[in-house]
Structure 1
Amino acid sequence: MKTIYKFFAIVLIINFNIGFSQNSINGRITYNVSLSIPKERIDEYEKSNKGASSDAITIWKNSKNVNSIIEFSMGKSKYYVLDELDNDLSENEIINLAKTRAGGNKVYYSENSSKSIDIFEQDCKLGECFLIKNEILDWKLLKETKKISGYTCYKAILNYKNKDIIFWYTPEIAINFGPKNFLGLPGAILEIQDGYFSFSATNIELNLKSDELSIEKPKGKLVTKDEYDKMLQKAFPEFFDEN
């Protein structure tokens, strides 16, 4: 029991220190986002869906890894997916599941105030761009550790959209930013295990020059998540069938 109390006391101290240090730390983390479905799972799906459209199998097999980036400086961050593969897609490869899960064409922006973190998600649909304010997430911190790229990382679990996602973060990089809207952990996120999808940090650059980073708040009409969901439901009712 004392060990548990000690662990959470350390986490509180780390969180306190992050509030001061992340205003001075800057850098860029590149992630490789991939989809890896076991062959036996694909075979099982094909067997149980005989006669059904093979589109799902084709999309699974054609999913390509993508790279995404988070840049951070002066208590602000911007996350986006590189579009380096877009020009290589054939007509039959309309959907890349790895890119969709990585964030697609959205841009995520966050900034720390003295009391909280503001998280915004830019999504351009319906003929204009919207800036959707996201909520802070509720993390479950664990004591389990492992090394990633030489950094000691701690395990955290997030129940997100009714499923558990595993995160590995390091307090050695004192920021509470991460991919997409996954913010609020007491350290930089270096790995995410989201079912068959994974995010893995492949390059970590710290203490960059200010002109090497571009962290501007994206433009768009400010709306809440509920307001934006209602707009999408009205525009695309076929995707929100209540039955």
Structure 2
Amino acid sequence: MKKTILLFFFALVYTNTFAQKDFQGMAVYESKTSTSDFKARFEGNKSITPDMQKMMEERMKKMFEKTFVLNFDKSASIYKEEEKLEASNQGGGFRMMSSMTGGGGTYYKNVKDKTYSVDKDFMGKEFLVKDSLASFNWKMEAETRVIGGYTCYKATAVKAASKTDFRNFRPKKEEAAQKDSPKKEETAQQEKPKEAPKTSFMDALELPKEITITAWYTPEIPVSQGPEGYWGLPGLILEVNDGKTIILCSKVVLNPKEKTEIKAPSKGKTVSQNEYDEIVVKKMEEFREMNQGRSGGGGFQIRMGQ
């Protein structure tokens, strides 16, 4: 009898929490992308000194390890990188790369209208990307785990890799195979005519067509929200993993004392996602061609601190 009353009490509190008209929640996420692929490229480049390698690794850590805050209500959310004092001192190149590794701008999602908008600062120009939310064909799994005290369920989906998200790039498969079989590589080099050396860091990378996503969501927080552009599950997504990048929730606060205004950004030239992608890809190709002429054998020349 006591147990039944206790369960009823918790159910009542739970229902009242999310039934409030002004319900709001806040979640903090830690995002980390594996950089081992890039470090391997540095180690094999004789033109990069140990000091240069250390500096590049430190800057990559700042780009690929970030903290974000998601403020959400029943239908909308804003997802933004936590502001750091050192970030404000970085130049345009660093900000550009930051926006291509998940940071920069305010990401607004409206799951009721199935739309999103995000303001981006790219090459000194402000863009307002507005489009429809991507539809994830989630496969619901029976596996469960506990994250931050919440029981979470596993769901998987496959999505197309974004050309403007640097985290999606991988080392070229043939290079990985040659690394595993040095003898075969040596034989192949003897049989085939020598090719011109690669002159750009980007030449060693490729973009997969699709990426498998693993998400962990909790029905205990029944909002169809999550970090970045992830949504569409019957509960808040507390972790997302695509094999290279892990976005993990480290803190959740329901109905915080200080409310945050959840509204879409409005500054910048309005473009669709495809239009923005075309602009970025074109500019990156220009960088690539410029680097090929300057590096003379292999550096990654985009400046990230001036």
Q: Give the Cα–Cα distance (whole angstroms) in 2 for the partners of residues 168 and 57 of structure 1.
A: 35
Q: Once the two structures are superposed, what CA deviation does each residue of 1:57-94 show, in whole Å capped at 9, x if it has no partner?
A: 75445504321000012522100001215359789x94
> 1:123 maps to which residue?
120
Correspondences of 1:1-243 after superposition (within 5 Å): 25-36=23-34, 45=41, 49-51=44-46, 53=48, 59-60=56-57, 62=59, 63-64=61-62, 65-84=65-84, 86-87=86-87, 94=94, 101=101, 103-113=102-112, 116-125=113-122, 127-138=125-136, 139-160=138-159, 161=161, 162-209=210-257, 211-220=258-267, 221-235=269-283, 237-238=285-286
Look up the SS of the partner of 2:276 in the other structure: helix
Shift of 1:236: 5.0
| Structure of greater Rg | 2
Deviations 1:10-57 (A, max 9, x none): xxxxxxx9xx9696531100112224556xx6785566x343647777
1:60–1:158 Cα change, 3 Å: farther
Kindly state the Cα deviation for residue 200 of structure 1 after the two structures are TM-superposed: 1.6
Any conservation in 2 of the 1:169–1:189 contact (CA below 8 Å)?
A: yes
The alignment yields a C-alpha RMSD, in angstroms, of 3.6
Normalised by the size of structure 1, how large is the TM-score? Answer: 0.71
Counterpart amino acid of 1:219?
S
Q: TM-score, normalised by structure 2?
A: 0.58
Question: 2:46 is aligned with what amino acid?
Answer: G
- Within 1, Cα distance between the matches of 2:149 and 2:30? 18
- Give 1:166 shift: 1.7
- The residue type equivalent to 1:171 in the other structure is P
Q: As a proportion of its length, which structure holds more helix?
A: 2
Instruction: Write the letter of the residue equivalent to 2:67.
Output: N
Determine helix, strand or coil for the equivalent of 1:86. helix
Q: Report the AA paired with residue 110 of structure 2.
A: E
What does the per-residue CA deviation read over 1:145-200, in whole Å, with 9 as the maximum and x for residues that have no partner? 11111111111223231121221111111111111111212211111223333222
> Which amino acid is the alignment partner of residue 69 of structure 1?
V
Which shifted more, 76-85 or 129-138? 129-138
Report the residue type matching 2:140 in the other structure: L
- Equivalent position amino acid for 2:273 in 1: K
Distance 1:165 1:129, change over 3 A: same
Q: Cα gap change, 1:67/1:130 in structure 2, threshold over 3 Å: closer, same or farther?
A: same
Any idea what SS the aligned residue of 1:123 has? strand
Q: Share of identical aligned residues, percent?
A: 27
1:5 maps to none
